[in-house]
Structure 1
Amino acid sequence: MTATESHTEVRPADAPEETPARLIPEALPLMPEDPPRVGEFWLRGRLGANAAGYLYTAADEHGREAVVAMMTEGSADDAAARDRFVTAVDEVPGDAVLAHNDSDDDDLALWVAIGPIRADDGTSAAADERLIAERRGEDVLSAVLMDRIPHTGRFRGPDFLHYWEGRRRPGLFRIWPLPWPNSLRAASRWALILSLITMAIIMALAVFLAWLLFRNAEPLEPEPVIPTPTGTATVTVTPTTPPPNTGSPSGSPSTGPSPTPVPTTGIPTGVPSSPGSPGTGDPGDKF
């Protein structure tokens, strides 16, 4: 056989053909109002939503995948809707319910994790498990919304509408322990560590530059006043101009102007010193 000849695989006539794997629908990204985690499952994306709740694709820390159905804030506040959710979860096969929260949590939205789902290995079995779990989650939310109940009689008047259908945000949830930093990938962890180290270096450099700039600074003028325990304070005033020249060395007469003599006459205080002195009389005259 030459090099140009090719080998052709001969399949037996009775050999079964491989079934092509079904296309698993892609999940939409999570929105800011979506919880990052419910129970032990980390949410990855949205699979669908209606007025009763949301469907999420999720996985726990061990890689176990599931579909999470969670109520909206409007349906979670309705006691009858919560009862329909619990009843629909009880109708799901026991081995398909991986986890759920307690129905007594009146302040939290009810949720259920449905599986099991094997990892997407390109086979039809993995796709089927994912689609089955998604259909079961849709059935739970449809039971809450009551949109699959067959109508009896003729359609007349307006259609039925729940009073809480306008409140379609995800219901209240509680996360403990906190998701940070467990939800970070390895690359995100290194980026966070490097950013913290960079911030610490910048702060240390700023403190060092401030010390270099102000280490030789002159003290404050005047110095701050520190009161004593008795409540008094002593202030020392340093003259900024030299005193006038009152004389010359070696006895030579001074050539500068002589200081003006200060009169030594007494300053009247308004108190009479003798009966005949000025300023005597009625003490009221001094005003």
Structure 2
Amino acid sequence: MTATESRSAAPTATPPAGEPARVVPDGLPLLPEDPPRVGDFWLQSRLGANAAGYLYAASDDSGQRAVVAMMTEGSADDAAARDRFVTAVDELPTEAVLAHNDSDDDDLALWVALGPVRPDDGSSSASDERIIAERRGEDVLSAVLMDRVPQLGRFRGPDFRHYWENRRRPGLFRIWPLPWPAVLRPASRVALILALVTMALIMGLAMLIAWLLFRNAPEVDPGPVIPTPSGTSTVTVTPTTPPPGTVSPSPGPGTPTSTVTVTPSPGATITGPFPTGGTPGSPGSDPSDRF
């Protein structure tokens, strides 16, 4: 369906006597799936669509108006369809092509901005410029779809249909630099700033609560054993638990120590020098007292 067909399909109603006639808009509103911007042009409304692509009314930052033709997701993935799009654009007059993306961007949908289109001042020449740009965009999309190729011979067999005709979403696009916040209204900018400040306050409050909860938490004792590259870990153990009924002196330079080497697999083995010379029943004489 061409752009003209899409607009003529819009329902119209006859107004009652004495009321002004309703003005049918030139384009349809953009959908969430439509790109807000392609290249330097901001898209404003849909002018038409078919299986090959979409026509948009657009304008750049300087106010230059144009008609943008952009491929669909299905046609953009077909190399032959992309070649037909590029060939159709190359056949247009040079002054009619305002901008287009690089045909080597295989991951992006091809698009072309057609014009020039003057602002609608009510004159017939401004309307003619827009109609001419729309017709050129329709010709480009029709070349991709091949719906205007004359039939050679008689009709035989099933009708021809592209395998990608069901994939009619707008093709992939890239926006750089990002369109916001330039496209936002002043009220939207205030809402965005308030949302960012609120998020920062919530994050700061969460960090403060975490610090208050864990600032007096005791340290983990004993600490984790970190194995060495050789696969063993050495831990020095100082026995400080005396037998019942005895007084344990504070550990000093002469306190006996044990050096333990731990092998994680297949089992734990304990090796190293242990304190000797203890008497039975004294600290250090019983292996269970070493830990």
Q: Tell which deviates more after alignment, 111-120 or 145-154.
A: 145-154
Q: CA separation in 1, counterparts of 2:90 and 2:171? A: 21
Do the aligned partners of 1:65 and 1:115 also contact (CA within 8 Å) in 2? yes
Q: Name the counterpart of 2:83.
A: 83
Do the aligned partners of 2:71 and 2:170 also contact (CA within 8 Å) in 1? yes
Q: CA separation in 2, counterparts of 1:80 and 1:211? A: 62
How far off is 1:154 after superposition? 3.5
Q: CA separation in 2, counterparts of 1:114 and 1:172? A: 20
Q: Name the counterpart of 1:30.
A: 31
Q: Name the counterpart of 1:39.
A: 39
- Flag the 1:26–1:171 CA change in 2: closer, same or farther, 3 A: closer
Q: CA separation in 2, counterparts of 1:105 and 1:214? A: 53
How far off is 1:200 after superposition? 2.6
- Aligned with 1:55: secondary structure? strand
Q: Name the counterpart of 1:155.
A: 155
- Flag the 1:76–1:193 CA change in 2: closer, same or farther, 3 A: same
> Cα RMSD between the aligned structures?
3.8
Sequence identity percentage: 71
Q: CA separation in 2, counterparts of 1:208 and 1:107? A: 46
Do the aligned partners of 2:70 and 2:170 also contact (CA within 8 Å) in 1? yes
- Flag the 1:128–1:211 CA change in 2: closer, same or farther, 3 A: same
- The residue identity in structure 2 corresponding to 1:167 is R
**Are residue 105 (structure 1) and residue 84 (structure 2) matched?**
no
Q: Name the counterpart of 1:144.
A: 144
Q: Name the counterpart of 2:65.
A: 65
**Are residue 165 (structure 1) and residue 165 (structure 2) matched?**
yes
Q: Name the counterpart of 1:266.
A: none
Do the aligned partners of 2:102 and 2:110 also contact (CA within 8 Å) in 1? yes
Q: Which runs of 5+ in 2 are unaligned?
A: 1-22, 226-232, 241-291
Q: Name the counterpart of 1:120.
A: 120
- TM-score, normalised with respect to structure 1: 0.61
| Length, aligned pairs only | 220
How far off is 1:173 after superposition? 2.6
**Per-residue CA distance 1:139-166 (angstroms, 9 max, x = gap):** 1101111112232443333222223223
Q: Name the counterpart of 1:12.
A: none
- Flag the 1:97–1:226 CA change in 2: closer, same or farther, 3 A: closer
**Per-residue CA distance 1:214-241 (angstroms, 9 max, x = gap):** 88x7979x988799xx976889x9xxxx
Do the aligned partners of 2:107 and 2:172 also contact (CA within 8 Å) in 1? yes
Do the aligned partners of 1:54 and 1:72 also contact (CA within 8 Å) in 2? yes
**Per-residue CA distance 1:78-97 (angstroms, 9 max, x = gap):** 33322221221122222121
Q: Name the counterpart of 2:264.
A: none
Q: CA separation in 2, counterparts of 1:117 and 1:81? A: 27
How far off is 1:134 after superposition? 1.5
Q: Tell which deviates more after alignment, 147-156 or 188-197.
A: 147-156
- Aligned with 1:115: secondary structure? strand
- Flag the 1:233–1:60 CA change in 2: closer, same or farther, 3 A: farther
Q: CA separation in 2, counterparts of 1:131 and 1:151? A: 28
- Flag the 1:218–1:27 CA change in 2: closer, same or farther, 3 A: closer
**Are residue 186 (structure 1) and residue 194 (structure 2) matched?**
no
Do the aligned partners of 2:98 and 2:114 also contact (CA within 8 Å) in 1? yes
Q: CA separation in 1, counterparts of 2:107 and 2:74? A: 12
- The residue identity in structure 2 corresponding to 1:67 is V
Do the aligned partners of 1:27 and 1:57 also contact (CA within 8 Å) in 2? no
Q: Which runs of 5+ in 1 are unaligned?
A: 1-21, 238-287
- TM-score, normalised with respect to structure 2: 0.60
Do the aligned partners of 2:73 and 2:109 also contact (CA within 8 Å) in 1? yes
**Per-residue CA distance 1:10-46 (angstroms, 9 max, x = gap):** xxxxxxxxxxxx96512232332x3332211122332
- Aligned with 2:58: secondary structure? strand
Q: CA separation in 1, counterparts of 2:46 and 2:70? A: 11
- The residue identity in structure 1 corresponding to 2:29 is L
- Flag the 1:125–1:233 CA change in 2: closer, same or farther, 3 A: farther
Look at both structures and tell me which one has the larger radius of gyration over its CA atoms. 1
Do the aligned partners of 1:81 and 1:144 also contact (CA within 8 Å) in 2? yes
How far off is 1:109 after superposition? 2.0
- The residue identity in structure 2 corresponding to 1:36 is P
- The residue identity in structure 2 corresponding to 1:25 is D
How far off is 1:119 after superposition? 2.5
Q: Name the counterpart of 1:261.
A: none
Do the aligned partners of 2:27 and 2:57 also contact (CA within 8 Å) in 1? no
